[in-house]
Structure 1
Amino acid sequence: MSMAQAQSQEPTSAPSYDALAEVLENEQSRQQLIKELRSLAAQQAPSAAQAAENATDAAEPSLPSQLAETTSEIAGGLSDQFNNLVEVTGNLFTGNVADDNAAFNSATFMNAAINLGLVVLATAVLFWLLRRLASPIFARFSHWSRHGEGKTPVLRLVVCVALACLVDVLAVGIAYVGGNLVATFLVGETGELTTQASLFLNAFVVIELLKAGLRVLFSSRYEGLRLLPIDSSEAAYWNRWLALLIGMVGYGVMVVEPLININISSTLGQGVNTLIMFIAYFYAVTVILKNRTRLRHAIRARAEKSTLAAGQFSLILLSRTWHLLGLAYFTVVLVLTLLSPAEALPFVLYATLKTLGLVVVGILLSSLLSQTIGRRITLSDELRRKLPLLEPRLNSYIPAALRFLRVLIVSMAVLLIFNAWYIVDLNAWYESEAGGKLMAKIIGVAIILAVAAMVWVVLASLIEHKLNPETGNGQPSARAQTLLLLFRNAVAIALATLTIMIALSEIGINIGPLIAGAGVLGLAIGFGAQKLVQDIITGVFIQIENAMNTGDVVTLAGITGTAEKLSIRSVGIRDLSGTYHIIPFSSVDTVSNYMREFAFHVGEYRVAYRENIDDAIAQLQNAFDELAVSEDNKREILAPLEVAGVIALADSSVIIRVRIKTTPGMQWAVGRAYNRLVKLHFDNAGIEIPFPHSTVYFGVGKEGQAPSANLRVMEQDFDVNGHPGGHAKSGENVVAADSKSAVANDAPNDND
């Protein structure tokens, strides 16, 4: 008999259920039926295999075709549901329900509805009372989270939220048990839990647990128990909206639809389910479009406060597209529900919860990192004394490390969210050969960079330890300081080069050609940059010979100043006027260093011919004795005064040379102080220091005659030696000329 003939037969010609039961009860007839079924299965197997092969050989439909087919399927299903819903609704009012071939019993339905209402009321009242009793506990948790001492604020927040969530879950559990007791012993038949009550209580547990999760994110009454960084008004708004949406969809799908399926009609229940999903969809779309601009501005304001460039860019992008993401999410939920209502809701619920969990964990980890390693690292006083630069160096690494960890957290969260929605399959990718190799390379490069950073910190800290006068072998010499600083620079360059090479090799890049190319390039640079090579070679020998060090006063290439910075190629000198000179070593023929072991102040002092030379030398010695006992200079003088004696009989003076041995670099300061004392001692002893004189010239007019000078006679007393202070003799008056009628000629006169 063909299938078409079987479908055209009247229902009365089909075998009855009693006949089928009799066949199954008889052992012989049952075995015969089994053989016939196996024979039919063997005959249909080749055709099924052929059909599968044909289906495999057929070309996969394109994406537009699949989209059109899905849209057509959804439209056809909605049309069928609407027609069936109209038919069932009409039959419901006429008292004929086609699904079960039974009349609708309104009395039974009302009784079940009343019993269910009592269970709902008892459970809701009990849950409300439990929440009221738990309010002081929530308030204490919130206060400790915001104002407690000890622990990081994020850790306090997580602990308090976890404890509050535990109390919330406990309240849901007690309300569920209380509802079961009411439904079992106070409503309906004693000792039996009705299907309606069971459906409601199961839905109550799921929905209230979801709402407890919402309260974790959007706690409006307790700011210390809110994970998301938003204010109370925003939290109350979104908590209310999402709770209403969850309650409408949850109770509609988990309670209303099954009750209609059981008591009225499965067709009506399916139609009600579709209607609930459409109402929830349009409600969500309305709320999203209503808050599109306001939320965009709020996210943009938070983006402007972000210190991380990647985070700021992500927030700005989210502010522009959040409404599109929300509309896409609810559209996908609606389509999946219409296509596969039995499987869509569990999948969407699981993916949504996983997405929210990943977002919250990412935010908490980022905040925790900011509050733990984002703060300035403070070392102990002893360690700071031994390694003074270690604390600033570690703190300089914190922003880069924090930025890297935040990017890593965001990337992992995005990938896991995509995996939750089956956009990508991380497990399959990781188990593949390419995924495994890529992860191994990423981990290897991260380890290489971490090891290189630790090696650099250790070596730099050891160099600082040697340079620190409080921890090494005392104050390091200038040569040791210079060599250690050059060694630190060389270590930094070598370590950076090795790290880059090893990282490239770990990634999979063949560094052999790179090294060969670098060698050829270095050879070419060596030929083309002979001056640079000469600078480096000369600098190496200058360092080997310890010709100068940082802080030495030197003369190089005709420039005298303090050597501030030495590299392998050049030296930086700061002269007396503050000008900074960079002198390449290739231009250095002679190094004059004024800072080696000791120095001398060489002083040459002129006295008049009429002065007693021994008295002048005695005054020079007295000035030195006073200098040697002064607090500022006594530690800088290394030997007694060396008097060379008269070194020249000049035209207008006698020159006496002395020499003072000082510590290196202090010869100029000691010399300035000694010159001051010499002047004071010579003045007290009346010893004249000759100096150049000027001749006053009054000038001559065109007629060849000098103009009359404005002169006046000033009486002044002179002593017998001609010095002021004695009584002036006759004819020894001082003549003063008016400056208005005199022109000074600055030509020196060697006469006393």
Structure 2
Amino acid sequence: MSTNLPGLTQRLLHSFFVLLLIGLSISVQADTGPASQPATSSQLLADLLENPETRDQLIRELRALATAEEGAADSEQLTLVQQVADTTQAFAQQLTTQILNALDAISTLGQTEWHLLVPHALNFLYVIIATLASYLVLRKLAIPLFRYANNLVNTQPGAGRLLTRLGVVLGAWVVDLLTILLAWVAGYSIALFLIGELGEMETVQSLFLNAFLVIELFKAMVRLFFSARYDRLRLLPFCAETAAYWNAWLARISSFIGYGMLLLVPVVNFYLAPALGHLLSLIIMLIAFAYALAIILQNKKRVALNISEQAEQADFAFTTVLLNMLSRSWHLLAIAYFAGLLLVTAIRPEDALPVMLQASLQTLLAIVVGLFISALLTQMISRQMRISDELKQRFPALEQRLNEFIPTSLKVVRLVIMLVVFAFVLDAWSLFNVSDWLNSEAGTRIIGSALSVAIILLVAKLLWIAFASWVEHQLNPTTGRGAASARQRTLLKLLSNAVMITLIVFTVMITLAELGLNIGPLIAGAGVVGLAIGFGAQTLVKDVITGVFIQLENAINTGDVVTADGITGTAENLTIRSLGLRDRFGTYHLIPFSSITSVSNYMRGYGYHVGEYGVAYREDTDEVIVHLRAAFDELMSDPEVRDNIMDDLEVQGVTALADNSVNIRVRIKTLPGAQWSIGRAYNRLVKRHLDAAGIEIPFPHLTLYFGQNKDGSAPPAALNLVSTPASRRAEKGLNTQPDQARSNPEPGTDFDEV
């Protein structure tokens, strides 16, 4: 059992001082002479404890305090249960009292003089007929305007068309409201000047006219979403049949509840008895609840299916989730709404309908405004931004970046709008007070932080778009500066990575600071962690440092053909830590800079095709050189090849008297990267020219040695000529011409068999 120590101590001190005063009074009564000395506090306390009466009173006081503390602890545990029980009991007692009072009022109805109410009833009936007739006539007169507005609406997508459509729909709705107001004014005028005494109106007539105004305004709001006759004046995407169904249902139930609660119940309260009016309001709401429950359960699956179809068409993930949740629980929300209306009517019959009507209108208004803004943003998202041709030429990817950034931002805004709508809906039903929260310290802090974070993210994104566009401008060959060099492309790529990482880090840090987090310990911790990582990852640090110096020395650029760490390939990717090479077989190699001890770059300034061509020893080398030059001349006749050759053929002469050939070296100076294609083309032409001149290009030979005699002479080689008889060749389907010498036997035979 928990005990409130400060409260217990206070009570004990209070009891002690009370008893102390009692003891003082007793001691004062005991001291009768003026010569008695004043007693000290110790003496008074001793007298207090020695007195049986005061001692017993102190003990009773302490026990009462202990009992009170136990009861308070038990009451804390039973508070919720007691509140529920008390609320249920009060509701049941109030409902029972209303029913009993209504039964008493019904028993007295026989004493009412009904014949006196006939003139008032006739006047009331005249007002009803006149008002409704005026309304029907005005609606007929307004039909051409509605048709014109319906034909004027353009349902094609687009933000401008959406605003135009909204303006036309609201204009038609204003016409609808004007017909209601004019009919209401006509009813008031007839009641004041044509029915009854001039300038006077009965209460029941005023009640009807006010109920007519409220109910028809609500129906006009319903027609704004479920217009049955004019498809283009309907805000919600329903077919005509569905819209007509819900329009009729909502019109019936709103008329039943409205005229019952705003007209019939006040009339019964005024002319009969308030208790009977309370019972009548409860009966009206019970009937409305039963009718609404039947309609909701009847359309449960159909409405859920329609909402699910809308969820599948939604392009925003949050909207899809929200609509899917609504498709599964819309009937529960509708039932809860009518059940709450019934409960409020039973508890507060005097102001139940105004309270529910205000909450419903605020909810509907919040949803309508939210849907309109969301639809407008959807139309804006669907549109692609367009920039001028001049900007597109200078910044080819700027339009794509903007079209990727703006839809994301607008989707975030749509999410914020949904949250705001949800807050206003909760505020309408007194579940959340928006104004108090906005004026509170927490609300101000959250709104301020959210706006600050949004501005920070927006500025960071715009800075990145501006920087990326600048990099693109520098690399664009149509900007007047020509194509960027490989070094510029490499450095700008590394700079882009560095700027992106810097923006991300600073954005995260500033965002955390705006959210109220102390980033000082975070920065200090990051420094300690970085130091620890530096000691534990020395290779990584070495990679970074080596990469920095390689870039400073312009050793490798993107697109260069290099040899690094024994691997030759094209540099596809350069980071601050590693080099990505693609070799001629298509294999991608990722090489850390720390493992690169030397770099061979084949793309600096120029390249050479170095060719060594071997000819037989019997060939004239000068003649060979002439043919090599002729092959080069033919190579230069190709315009595409000639543009890649920087100088004339360089003949370096005979470089070696090899075992089987005489080698002659030539060299062709080319543009960097073209030496391989030039070499392949030149080799093809050299082979053709040497073959045409009958110059032998030697290839490896095999020499057979049969031994030698003692005098040094070589013995004759033993050669057997093998021939196949014609009869046997015919058996095998071979040529039957005369026998020819063959150097090898038939497959599956040997020389002995032959």
Report the TM-score when normalising by structure 1: 0.80
- DSSP 3-state at the match of 2:562: strand
Quote how far apart the aligned CAs of 1:412 are.
1.2
Counterparts of 1:192 and 1:707 in 2: how far apart (Å)?
149
Moved more, 416-425 or 258-267: 258-267
Quote how far apart the aligned CAs of 1:197 are.
3.0
One-letter amino acid matched to 1:377: M
Identity score, percent: 48
Quote how far apart the aligned CAs of 1:521 are.
0.9
1:80 aligns with 97
Partner deviation per Cα, 1:140-183 (whole Å, 9 max, x = no partner): 43344344687445324422321121111121122223323433
1:460 aligns with 468
Partner deviation per Cα, 1:570-591 (whole Å, 9 max, x = no partner): 1000000100000111111110
2:208 aligns with 200
Quote how far apart the aligned CAs of 1:511 are.
1.2
Moved more, 347-356 or 305-314: 305-314
1:145 aligns with 153
Quote how far apart the aligned CAs of 1:566 are.
0.3
**Is residue 367 of structure 2 the alignment partner of residue 350 of structure 1?**
no
1:672 aligns with 680
Counterparts of 1:386 and 1:163 in 2: how far apart (Å)?
46
Counterparts of 1:529 and 1:86 in 2: how far apart (Å)?
90
Q: Structure 2 vs 1, CA of residues 514 and 205 (structure 1 numbering), >3 Å: closer, same or farther?
A: same
Q: Is the 8 A contact 2:579 2:593 kept in 1?
A: yes
- DSSP 3-state at the match of 2:642: coil
Q: Is the 8 A contact 2:158 2:380 kept in 1?
A: no
**Is residue 106 of structure 2 the alignment partner of residue 89 of structure 1?**
yes
Alignment partner of 2:219 out of 208, 211, 215: 211
One-letter amino acid matched to 1:234: T
- DSSP 3-state at the match of 2:477: coil
- DSSP 3-state at the match of 1:633: helix
- DSSP 3-state at the match of 2:695: coil
One-letter amino acid matched to 2:430: Y
Quote how far apart the aligned CAs of 1:458 are.
1.1
1:365 aligns with 373
Q: Structure 2 vs 1, CA of residues 149 and 276 (structure 1 numbering), >3 Å: closer, same or farther?
A: closer
2:613 aligns with 605
Counterparts of 1:110 and 1:340 in 2: how far apart (Å)?
32
- DSSP 3-state at the match of 1:230: coil
Alignment partner of 2:185 out of 134, 152, 177: 177
One-letter amino acid matched to 1:71: T
Quote how far apart the aligned CAs of 1:707 are.
7.4
Q: Structure 2 vs 1, CA of residues 599 and 740 (structure 1 numbering), >3 Å: closer, same or farther?
A: farther
2:57 aligns with none
- DSSP 3-state at the match of 1:394: helix
Within a 5 Å distance, the mapping from 1:310-459 to structure 2 comes to 310-459=318-467
Q: Is the 8 A contact 1:152 1:372 kept in 2?
A: no
Q: Structure 2 vs 1, CA of residues 313 and 619 (structure 1 numbering), >3 Å: closer, same or farther?
A: same
Q: Is the 8 A contact 1:606 1:690 kept in 2?
A: yes
Counterparts of 2:456 and 2:159 in 1: how far apart (Å)?
33
Counterparts of 1:67 and 1:360 in 2: how far apart (Å)?
36
Partner deviation per Cα, 1:679-717 (whole Å, 9 max, x = no partner): 2333333333223356899xxxxxx998754599xxxxx
Partner deviation per Cα, 1:472-519 (whole Å, 9 max, x = no partner): 621111111100000000011111111111111111211111111111
Counterparts of 2:402 and 2:117 in 1: how far apart (Å)?
74
**Is residue 591 of structure 2 the alignment partner of residue 583 of structure 1?**
yes
One-letter amino acid matched to 2:166: V
- DSSP 3-state at the match of 1:597: coil
1:509 aligns with 517
Counterparts of 1:296 and 1:211 in 2: how far apart (Å)?
24
Moved more, 129-138 or 455-464: 129-138
Q: Please provide the CA RMSD for this pair.
A: 2.9
Moved more, 421-430 or 462-471: 421-430
1:659 aligns with 667
Counterparts of 1:695 and 1:184 in 2: how far apart (Å)?
138
Q: Is the 8 A contact 2:158 2:383 kept in 1?
A: no
**Is residue 703 of structure 2 the alignment partner of residue 691 of structure 1?**
no
Moved more, 75-84 or 416-425: 75-84
Q: Structure 2 vs 1, CA of residues 181 and 431 (structure 1 numbering), >3 Å: closer, same or farther?
A: closer
Partner deviation per Cα, 1:24-81 (whole Å, 9 max, x = no partner): xxxxxxxxxxxxxxxxxxxxxxxxxxxxxxxxx9999934434433433333333333
Alignment partner of 1:650 out of 640, 651, 658: 658
Q: Is the 8 A contact 1:607 1:655 kept in 2?
A: yes
One-letter amino acid matched to 2:692: N
2:39 aligns with none
One-letter amino acid matched to 2:233: L
- DSSP 3-state at the match of 1:509: coil
Counterparts of 1:66 and 1:300 in 2: how far apart (Å)?
41
Counterparts of 1:558 and 1:582 in 2: how far apart (Å)?
13
Q: Structure 2 vs 1, CA of residues 653 and 330 (structure 1 numbering), >3 Å: closer, same or farther?
A: same
Quote how far apart the aligned CAs of 1:185 are.
4.1
Alignment partner of 1:65 out of 59, 79, 82: 82
**Is residue 643 of structure 2 the alignment partner of residue 635 of structure 1?**
yes
Q: Structure 2 vs 1, CA of residues 283 and 674 (structure 1 numbering), >3 Å: closer, same or farther?
A: same
Q: Structure 2 vs 1, CA of residues 742 and 581 (structure 1 numbering), >3 Å: closer, same or farther?
A: farther
One-letter amino acid matched to 1:451: V
Counterparts of 2:158 and 2:437 in 1: how far apart (Å)?
43
Q: Is the 8 A contact 1:218 1:227 kept in 2?
A: yes
Partner deviation per Cα, 1:104-150 (whole Å, 9 max, x = no partner): 242x4233323332332232233233333433433443344344687
Moved more, 452-461 or 578-587: 452-461
Counterparts of 1:472 and 1:589 in 2: how far apart (Å)?
39
Q: Structure 2 vs 1, CA of residues 638 and 735 (structure 1 numbering), >3 Å: closer, same or farther?
A: farther
Q: Is the 8 A contact 1:696 1:742 kept in 2?
A: no
Q: Structure 2 vs 1, CA of residues 350 and 694 (structure 1 numbering), >3 Å: closer, same or farther?
A: farther
How many corresponding residue pairs?
651
1:245 aligns with 253
- DSSP 3-state at the match of 1:582: strand
Q: Is the 8 A contact 2:123 2:195 kept in 1?
A: yes
Partner deviation per Cα, 1:243-287 (whole Å, 9 max, x = no partner): 111111111222223333444444433433332222222222232
1:479 aligns with 487
Alignment partner of 1:220 out of 216, 220, 228: 228
Counterparts of 1:282 and 1:147 in 2: how far apart (Å)?
39
Q: Structure 2 vs 1, CA of residues 360 and 672 (structure 1 numbering), >3 Å: closer, same or farther?
A: same
Counterparts of 1:272 and 1:528 in 2: how far apart (Å)?
83
Counterparts of 1:69 and 1:161 in 2: how far apart (Å)?
51
One-letter amino acid matched to 1:663: L
Within a 5 Å distance, the mapping from 1:9-20 to structure 2 comes to none
One-letter amino acid matched to 1:689: I
One-letter amino acid matched to 1:72: Q
- DSSP 3-state at the match of 1:661: strand
Counterparts of 2:535 and 2:158 in 1: how far apart (Å)?
65
**Is residue 544 of structure 2 the alignment partner of residue 536 of structure 1?**
yes
Unaligned runs of 5+ in 2: 1-71, 706-716, 726-739, 750-754
Q: Is the 8 A contact 1:572 1:582 kept in 2?
A: yes
Partner deviation per Cα, 1:651-688 (whole Å, 9 max, x = no partner): 33322211111111011111112222222333333333
Counterparts of 1:679 and 1:598 in 2: how far apart (Å)?
26
Partner deviation per Cα, 1:439-494 (whole Å, 9 max, x = no partner): 22222222211111111111111111111111262111111110000000001111
Q: Structure 2 vs 1, CA of residues 740 and 664 (structure 1 numbering), >3 Å: closer, same or farther?
A: farther
- DSSP 3-state at the match of 1:636: coil
- DSSP 3-state at the match of 2:666: strand
One-letter amino acid matched to 1:404: V
Counterparts of 1:63 and 1:559 in 2: how far apart (Å)?
78
Q: Structure 2 vs 1, CA of residues 215 and 533 (structure 1 numbering), >3 Å: closer, same or farther?
A: same
Partner deviation per Cα, 1:502-559 (whole Å, 9 max, x = no partner): 1111112111111111111111111111111111111111000000100000011111
One-letter amino acid matched to 1:82: I
